[in-house]
Amino acid sequence: MSKEQKRDAFYMQSKESVLEAVEASKKGLTTEQASQRLSEFGRNELDEGEKKTLIQKFLDQFKDLMIIILLVAAGLSVVTEGMHGLTDAIIILVVVVLNAAFGVYQEGQAEAAIEALKSMSSPLARVRRDGHVSEVDSKELVPGDIVMLEAGDVVPADMRLLEAASLKIE
């Protein structure tokens, strides 16, 4: 069985074989092992991708089909009616630019709200390292960490349960 197959089937394996597969023990990892795995696997967080600049966000507002139709209508108004259509074209362009500015503002507000939620949902995790239980940021969890959960705790990562008593999870 390959490493990927073992990882995919952890829920079907005994806890001893899972610990062996991730090269860990019930005593947990050492601080050195954890930092090595953190550099190897990266932080326990989703990849966000590239952040868009303000100009990119503004230009993205013009990719909507209705906006394109309005811009074409403004251009046709000037072409077909000459200087008499210029007033209509300017009004359409002002509305489109204001719409784009408002869209960029709303997008910025949504991103700020998401960042606030991320900071709230980044709990501390109690892990067994160097034979002792300590608290670490959930972003610092690595494969092989032994996480200790108690009533009311947020589950900080995907994990394989080794022991449980009266477990209820939403």
Q: Where is average pLDDT lowest: 22-31, 42-51, 127-136?
A: 42-51
Distance CA 37, CA 93 (A): 54
Domain map of the chain by residue range? 3-47+123-148, 54-119
The residue-averaged pLDDT of 138-151 equals 88
Fold of 3-47+123-148: 2.70.150
Most confident residue range from 24-33, 43-52, 86-95: 86-95
State the pTM of this model: 0.57
> Which long-range contacts link 161-165 to residues 24+ away (Cβ below 8 Å)?
162/15, 162/18, 162/19, 162/26, 163/15
- Quote the DSSP letter at residue 140: G
- Residue 49's H or E segment, with its range, is none
- Which residues does residue 148 pair with via DSSP β-bridges, in sequence order? 126
HSE on the CB side for 102, CA within 13 Å? 6
Q: Considering the chain, what is the average pLDDT of its residues? A: 85
